[in-house]
Structure 1
Amino acid sequence: MNGVRTTTGQTIEPFGNTFRKLPKRALKRIGVVDVGSNSIRLVVFDGAARSPAYFYNEKVMAGLGQDMARTGRLNPKGIERGFSALARFAALARSMDIEPLTCVATAAMREAEDGPAFQARVEKETGLKLHIIDGEEEARLSAQGVLLGWPDARGLVCDIGGNSMELAEVANGKVGRRVSSQLGPFRLQQVPPEGLRTHVATVLDRLAEQVGTDHERIYLVGGSWRALARLDMERTGYPMTVLHEYRMTPQSLSDTIGWIERHDLGSLRSKVGISASRIELVPLAAKVLSQMIEVFRPKELAVSSYGIREGLLYEHMSDTLRRRDPLLEAARFTEKQMARLPGFGKKLFQFLAPLFPDMPPERERLVRAACLLHDTAWRAHPDYRAEACFDNVTRANMAALSHPERVFLGLALLHRYKNSRAESHMAPLFALLDEAQIRDAEILGKAMRFGAMFAIDDPSDAASLRLRDDTLELRLTATGRRLMGEVAESRFLSLCKSMGVQGVTR
């Protein structure tokens, strides 16, 4: 697929199959640079390719596109900040032996009349080749980033930048219709306030004609959306501050937008730690999102921390790698790097599987992940391992994991090291689970706590479990009897008590 040229002279280059596809579980560092209208960011991905591990992540709020809607040119101060950032990123990449970097530039670079000159300067003086992509390609890559984090994503991806806003359909692991608009906050700053609502409505009606309005969920990508979500958390007192996979109802978001309008932006910024350059764009972004809710009528809005940069990583992946579960890939990678006995997690799952008959797939993947992660906090002080496990999982950069699932996994790992959760400072997060889920997490944790006592090459050589009605039968081999000491017996009885069954040892 050949590039096309814009009226300002840039070559717009779709990626297509440009990248060499990585085989399954490839361990390779990949560096990408995203040159946006507001920020420029370098991300180096490391390790488990299907689930992004951020080896290095740096952002500079260059503001390349600030005032461009008025002047038609890149912001002069933004040019110097942007060039300095790119020169630094090129040097960092060389020191990490990551060359060449994959660099994409979006709305500001493709629309500014001096974009080609900046592009040429960057390439000449830093050696970085900036791929200037059009709006539809930007939408595709952002949607791929959502698919990287949500393999089963279905709905409409909405990516807002400084000078543009893109929409793309996602379903069945594919990106469908996509469209770009000039609804970025920098652009909207040039619209007279009295005409803003009509202008936004006109653009949204056109977008709706192109991508339809039958989307139950909108996936929000971009710093302005994340800032809005963080403010929604603050207003509602939400106990977890992880933005990825944070879900909002249209009503909650509408209430938050009204709440923002009634408060001073400076005081809100101090509460949630949003940068000054970001918070000033929030009111305009909020007006766009408010009208989007009216036009598209979604049932839910979900925040994705993954976007164009993760979409570039996804571009590298083979179809086989894309089909893998990001959570389990991340857990396997973590086990390999941090567990005392890498590979034992799979055997632990097989040993404990009889305790969880007829597991639905969504629960089985959590049990598998827990078993893979059960021994990855062993370096922490014994008094804090339970809390370290919980904190690591609930705050980890893991994909395909909802907030309740994070808490379930964290609570199971807490109980892997500790029988009781009483007086835990993590207790506010338990509210994201119902009583049945809390009980199931406790049982899983205590099962792993007991199963870890058989941490030999294969625990099935020592023991087997059988659940029958109200009885849990433990059958021991000769090896198992030698391993079944006082501590193991105590852990077995604690597991039986949590399950509400009678324990029998044979």
Structure 2
Amino acid sequence: MTTRVAAIDCGTNSIRLLVADLPDPSAGPQAPLVDLARRMEIVRLGQGVDRTGRLAPEAIERTRVALAGYAAEIEKLGVDRVRMCATSASRDASNAADFRAMVTQTLGVAPEVVSGDEEARLSFTGAVRGLPADAEPPYLVVDIGGGSTEFVVGTRDGGVEAAISVDIGCVRMTERHLHGDPPTGDEVAAAQADIAAAVDRALAAVPGREAATLVGLAGSVTTVVAIAQDLQEYDPERIHHARVPYERVAGVTADLLAKTAAQRLAIPVMHPGRADVIGAGALVLRVIMERAGMSSVVASEHDILDGIAWSLHPTTT
């Protein structure tokens, strides 16, 4: 018997939905989930949170509109179990209660404002299932979000060894440092120093430098990988598990930071809602690779959203 679940990941920049059928427990630990729907909307819930400490009313409304569409999809597909996790912006905001009330009314399920550690563990679970054989363990999984980045070290069989979340992300770093169009050299240098300090703190807490494979998650990573592959349209199948060397990541990062927002928007694989923050996201990835001593990154289209779905499996609840 399969279990039909809906997972929703509401982050600082985007809100995403996965509706999937989870395999019967008798199918074994490597049996995949079966996608029925994947959706993503850029709602920028974390707009201004780093500065004001509050969720903007217009950001909550954008999220409500997207969530209402997801609720209709969930009802249409006859889902058995629903879980929504809200991440960095909802942890930071002083008016998080307004957000929770909106979600409960719109979705019929209260959001879980997960801790950074839980966010990291969900990301790891989603990422490591199905990794190719040439992805040697242990893994350092990094999930570069809008407001925070999660670092998780572990193996497929042994699970998570250590995890930490730090407050660097593409939206937060853009709002804090990258104000020019394109950003100035001084702005980039300030962002790089801020990121490097946070990455070093993370790598002091988790043994990331001892990992054999770096696995990168979320839109900043997959967009950089799509650009590095010279794709003319966003193709998840070509991006998923693609391995990109450091030199290519560094080149793409430098190019993105030198472009205006309009020039970035013209890149064929660029999502319109990501063009203004992708430079910061790429910079986070590049600095992680440098500080962790990683020569390449393996991209994964499976991440916290898949981890949330797997957490609804009857064998884990």
Task: Normalising by structure 1, report the TM-score.
Answer: 0.54
The farther-off stretch of 167-176 and 140-149 is 167-176
In structure 2, runs of 5+ residues without a counterpart are: 25-30, 178-186
Identity of aligned residues (%): 26
User: Following the alignment from structure 1 to structure 2, what is the Cα–Cα distance between the partners of residues 118 and 179?
Assistant: 25
Picking from 215, 220, 226, the partner of 2:211 is 215
Equivalent position SS for 2:44: coil
Matched, 1:260 2:256: yes
- The equivalent of 1:128 in structure 2 is 109
User: Following the alignment from structure 1 to structure 2, what is the Cα–Cα distance between the partners of residues 286 and 188?
Assistant: 11
- The equivalent of 1:32 in structure 2 is 7
Matched, 1:170 2:154: yes
Counterpart residue type for residue 166 of structure 1? E
User: Following the alignment from structure 2 to structure 1, what is the Cα–Cα distance between the partners of residues 201 and 57?
Assistant: 33
Counterpart residue type for residue 86 of structure 2? A
Shift of 1:265: 4.8
Root mean square deviation, CA, Å: 2.5
Residue pairs, 1:275-314, within 5 angstroms? 275-314=271-310
CA gap of 1:273–1:249, structure 2 versus 1, over 3 A, is: closer
User: Following the alignment from structure 1 to structure 2, what is the Cα–Cα distance between the partners of residues 272 and 170?
Assistant: 35
User: Following the alignment from structure 1 to structure 2, what is the Cα–Cα distance between the partners of residues 43 and 86?
Assistant: 12
- The equivalent of 2:242 in structure 1 is 246
CA gap of 1:145–1:264, structure 2 versus 1, over 3 A, is: same
Give CA-to-partner distance per residue, 1:390-449, whole Å, 9 cap, x none. Answer: xxxxxxxxxxxxxxxxxxxxxxxxxxxxxxxxxxxxxxxxxxxxxxxxxxxxxxxxxxxx
Residue pairs, 1:424-443, within 5 angstroms? none
Residue pairs, 1:55-204, within 5 angstroms? 55-150=36-131, 154=137, 155-173=139-157, 174-192=159-177, 193=187, 195-204=190-199
Shift of 1:305: 0.4
Counterpart residue type for residue 144 of structure 2? I
User: Following the alignment from structure 1 to structure 2, what is the Cα–Cα distance between the partners of residues 253 and 156?
Assistant: 17
Task: Normalising by structure 2, report the TM-score.
Answer: 0.84
CA gap of 1:131–1:261, structure 2 versus 1, over 3 A, is: closer
Structure with greater contact order relative to length (CA < 8 Å, sep ≥ 6): 2
Higher helix content, 1 or 2: 1
User: Following the alignment from structure 1 to structure 2, what is the Cα–Cα distance between the partners of residues 255 and 233?
Assistant: 12
- The equivalent of 1:230 in structure 2 is 226
Counterpart residue type for residue 158 of structure 1? V
User: Following the alignment from structure 2 to structure 1, what is the Cα–Cα distance between the partners of residues 49 and 288?
Assistant: 25
Give CA-to-partner distance per residue, 1:121-170, whole Å, 9 cap, x none. Answer: 32145412211101110000000001223286621000011111000012
In structure 1, runs of 5+ residues without a counterpart are: 1-25, 322-506
Equivalent position SS for 1:226: helix
CA gap of 1:287–1:187, structure 2 versus 1, over 3 A, is: same
Counterpart residue type for residue 168 of structure 1? V
The 8 Å contact of residues 199 and 288 in structure 2, kept in 1 or not, is answered as: yes
Shift of 1:99: 4.3
Higher strand content, 1 or 2: 2
The 8 Å contact of residues 67 and 186 in structure 1, kept in 2 or not, is answered as: no
Count, aligned residues: 293
Give CA-to-partner distance per residue, 1:152-205, whole Å, 9 cap, x none. Answer: 662100001111100001214211100000111222134342532222221111
Shift of 1:88: 2.7
